[in-house]
Amino acid sequence: MTFPGNPTDLKEFLDSRVEHYNNSFFIELDPVSIPHLFSKKEDIEIMGFLASILAWGQRPTIINNCQKLIQYFENEPHRFITEATANEINSLVNFKHRTFNGVDLSYFIVFLRVMYARFGNLENAFLNGVENHENKVEFALNQFRNLFISLPEFTQRSGKHISAPSKKSACKRLNMFLRWMVRKDKKGVDFGIWNKISPADLICPCDLHVDRVARKLGLIQRPKTDWLTAVELTENLKLFDPSDPVKYDFALFGLGVGKEL
């Protein structure tokens, strides 16, 4: 890895930006505010998952459309997912966020219902079998997509909303969701309610802001952005903190959005 400056100085700089952005003020304007509306674990993971899936485009629009979902769910996502009638699910037909529409939403609800019936919670569905693999997140994302496309109700159009390393995707949104669920600290942004993997196993979400800033700082050399790019970035961040490399997502994203560089 080649930094444009002193690596120690870069670590100190990034640590300072983590301290700045990893705080409660970050929540209000970010999609992570959606699962923060709930206290029940199942509601948190359901709305965290759906908010992450819708997390592309302008953040105010993402948050607004997620709030519409909550209204559809009558403020009880888990109850709705597990108990909704066919007519109630069909009532979602007019929902739309960019290319995600009511057809996709209906399948996601069916899929989540099956996952809760089969695994008991979304953590077990997402991280089933990871303890037997070295690259835990890569395995988890690939097997989760295989689950997603396995139901009889699956339609090809809905498949594009669940990425996987096997598809060469950087999996930005799902890595962000895993960060929310797995990271543990006392700052109050991430939830830390999943325990099957540790923060050290996570892969850094690599969105446009993070990618741009990381390249300026010499943390990414790979010319295109794909799964290997996200792994490269994470491995370099582990040089600063091997136990919690993805905390630097706060710094890189904040620097990008705040245009500090």
Q: What is the largest CA-CA distance in the chain?
A: 61
Among 117-121, 129-133, 212-216, 237-241, the range scoring the smallest mean pLDDT is 129-133
Across 173-200, average pLDDT: 97
**Confidence bin at 6 (pLDDT 50/70/90):** confident
CA–CA separation, 59 and 236 (whole Å)? 28
According to the model, what pLDDT value does residue 7 have?
78
CA atoms within 13 A on the CB side of 123: 17
pLDDT above 50 (res 1): no
pLDDT above 80 (res 53): yes
pLDDT above 60 (res 2): no
Please, what is the average pLDDT of the chain? 94
Determine contact, residues 139/166, Cβ cutoff 8 Å. Answer: no
pLDDT tens digits, one per residue of 250-260: 999 999 987 66
Opening angle at CA 32, ends 42 and 23, nearest 5: 120
Determine contact, residues 214/258, Cβ cutoff 8 Å. Answer: no
Across 244-255, average pLDDT: 97
Q: Which residue has the tokens 């996601």?
A: 108
CA–CA separation, 178 and 53 (whole Å)? 12
Strand partners, 181: none
